[in-house]
């Protein structure tokens, strides 16, 4: 660095045009590029000048190599790095050699900045942060619990649902088989038993249906869904007492619906218990007043019980509703008879 400072001081004292020897020296130091300078045009520039120039260059380079080999090697590397990192300074330095004038103060200022840049920079060393040891999270263990086995009732319910699907698809035989499987799993499945009995009755297999219903009532005698069709089968065969008993056992446990009340009223009428029959029919029509046949049954029971006026009113209510032709003709005849009888009375 002492050689560079000495050269800058010499340039500052001269304050004249830059000589080619100085330019060549600076270019050898790596400070400027001689190709960007125009050749100094002078008529007095002769061959002697050329020889002197070559002599100066050769002597200067030899002195650098012999006397300051280590010093120049240490200076060249930082200075080259400075030129690479500050192209703007090099550009300003290159422009310091115009054809006419040269300002050594500008060169000294720029070089002083370059020399300042060469000072060692102390960089604060930040201690390396140790990686934070995060707690390794392990996924929660999946507890595989064995599937809970189905109860017989649940199995029967699934079979019953499949039977309903089969029957809705007009697969009657498959539906019946599934209903039987459901009863094998759980014999107290009332819906499966009742539906299977209805299928048997639709094919006029009354004996099979009766045995099926009777077996269900032995298990649970309070099921109206089983007692009602069972009582119908017994009453059709003339077994009125066991039919009524089957209904009464079921009704005792649960409130009778209108269908059960009407069936009970019909059985009581056949048993010539007309007052009880009329009472049962009256309860039935109170629940479903649009049932014409039940109004007819009430009218007949009242007429047999000697209540002609109430019987006429019941026949007239029945006539207002839709009836089959034979029943409709019977109702009209009874209305005429009871009307004349009441008028004559």
Instruction: Tell me which residue range forms the domain holding 33.
Output: 2-117
Q: Can you give the pLDDT at residue 81?
A: 45
Q: Can you give the pLDDT at residue 134?
A: 56
Reported as a single tens digit per residue, the pLDDT across 55-71 is: 545 555 655 555 555 45
Flag whether 164 is in a domain.
Answer: no
Q: Can you give the pLDDT at residue 67?
A: 57
Across the range 106-128, mean pLDDT stands at 47
Flag whether 40 is in a domain.
Answer: yes
Share of the chain above pLDDT 90, in %: 52
Flag whether 19 is in a domain.
Answer: yes
Query: Which H, E and C letters describe the chain, residue by residue?
Result: CHHHHHHHHHHHHHCCCCCHHHHHHHHHHCCCCHHHCCCCCCCCCCHHHHHHHHHHHHHHHHHHHHHCHHHHHHHHHHHHHHHHHCHHHHHHHHCCCCCCCCCHHHHHHHHHHHHHHCCCCCCCCCCCCCCCCCCCCCCCCCCCCCCCCCCHHHHHHHHHHHHHHHHHCCCHHHHHHHHHHHHHHCCCCHHHHHHHHHHHHHCCCHHHHHHHHHHHHHHCCCCHHHHHHHHHHHHHCCCHHHHHHHHHHHHHHCCCCHHHHHHHHHHHHHCCCHHHHHHHHHHHHHHCCCCHHHHHHHHHHHHHCCCHHHHHHHHHHHHCCCCCHHHHHHHHHHHHHHHHHHHHC
The mean predicted confidence, pLDDT, of the chain is: 74
Q: Can you give the pLDDT at residue 143?
A: 67
Reported as a single tens digit per residue, the pLDDT across 308-331 is: 999 999 999 999 999 999 999 999
- pTM score > 0.75 for this model? no
Number of structural domains found in the chain: 1
Q: Can you give the pLDDT at residue 68?
A: 57
Confidence check: pLDDT of 36 > 70: no
Residue 302: other Cβ atoms inside 10 A? 24
Flag whether 162 is in a domain.
Answer: no
Q: How confident is the model at residue 93 (pLDDT cuts 50, 70, 90)?
A: very low
Reported as a single tens digit per residue, the pLDDT across 126-145 is: 555 555 555 566 666 666 77
Q: Can you give the pLDDT at residue 145?
A: 73
Could you tell me which residue, 203 or 39, shows the higher pLDDT? 203
Q: Can you give the pLDDT at residue 15?
A: 42
Share of the chain above pLDDT 70, in %: 57
Flag whether 91 is in a domain.
Answer: yes
Confidence check: pLDDT of 115 > 60: no
Confidence check: pLDDT of 186 > 70: yes
Confidence check: pLDDT of 96 > 70: no
Q: Can you give the pLDDT at residue 31?
A: 40
Q: Can you give the pLDDT at residue 147?
A: 78
Flag whether 200 is in a domain.
Answer: no
Could you tell me which residue, 21 or 219, shows the higher pLDDT? 219
Flag whether 303 is in a domain.
Answer: no
Reported as a single tens digit per residue, the pLDDT across 242-297 is: 999 999 999 887 678 999 999 999 999 999 999 999 999 999 999 999 999 999 99
């Amino acid at each position: 660095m002492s050689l560079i400072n000495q050269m800058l001081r010499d340039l500052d004292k001269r304050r004249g045009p830059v000589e080619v020897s100085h330019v060549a020296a600076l270019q050898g130091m790596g400070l400027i590029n001689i190709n960007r300078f125009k050749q100094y045009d002078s008529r007095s520039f002769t061959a002697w000048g050329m020889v002197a120039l070559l002599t100066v260059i050769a002597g200067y380079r030899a002195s650098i190599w012999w006397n300051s080999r280590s010093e120049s090697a240490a200076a060249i590397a930082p200075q080259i790095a400075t030129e690479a990192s500050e192209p703007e300074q090099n550009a300003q330095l290159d422009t310091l050699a115009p054809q006419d004038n040269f300002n050594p103060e500008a060169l000294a200022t720029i070089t002083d900045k370059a020399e300042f840049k060469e000072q060692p920079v102390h960089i604060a060393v930040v201690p390396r942060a140790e990686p934070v040891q995060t707690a390794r999270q392990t996924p929660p263990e999946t507890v595989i619990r064995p599937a809970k086995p189905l109860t017989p009732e649940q199995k029967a319910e699934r079979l019953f649902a499949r039977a309903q699907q089969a029957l809705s698809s007009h697969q009657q035989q498959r539906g019946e088989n599934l209903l039987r499987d459901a009863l094998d799993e759980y014999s107290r499945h009332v819906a499966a038993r009742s539906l299977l009995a209805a299928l048997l009755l639709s094919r006029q297999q009354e004996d099979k249906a009766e045995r099926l219903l009777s077996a269900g009532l032995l298990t649970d005698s309070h099921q109206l869904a089983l007692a009602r069709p069972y009582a119908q089968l017994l009453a059709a065969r003339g077994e009125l007492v066991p039919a009524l008993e089957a209904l009464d056992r079921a009704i005792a446990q649960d409130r009778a619906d209108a269908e059960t009340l009407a069936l009970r009223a019909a059985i009581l009428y056949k048993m010539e218990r007309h007052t009880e029959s009329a009472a049962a029919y009256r309860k039935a029509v109170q629940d479903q007043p649009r049932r014409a046949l039940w109004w007819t049954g009430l009218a007949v029971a009242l007429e047999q019980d000697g209540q002609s006026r109430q019987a006429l009113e019941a026949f007239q209510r029945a006539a207002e509703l839709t009836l089959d032709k034979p029943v409709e003709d019977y109702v009209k005849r009874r209305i005429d008879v009871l009307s004349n009888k009441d008028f004559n009375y």
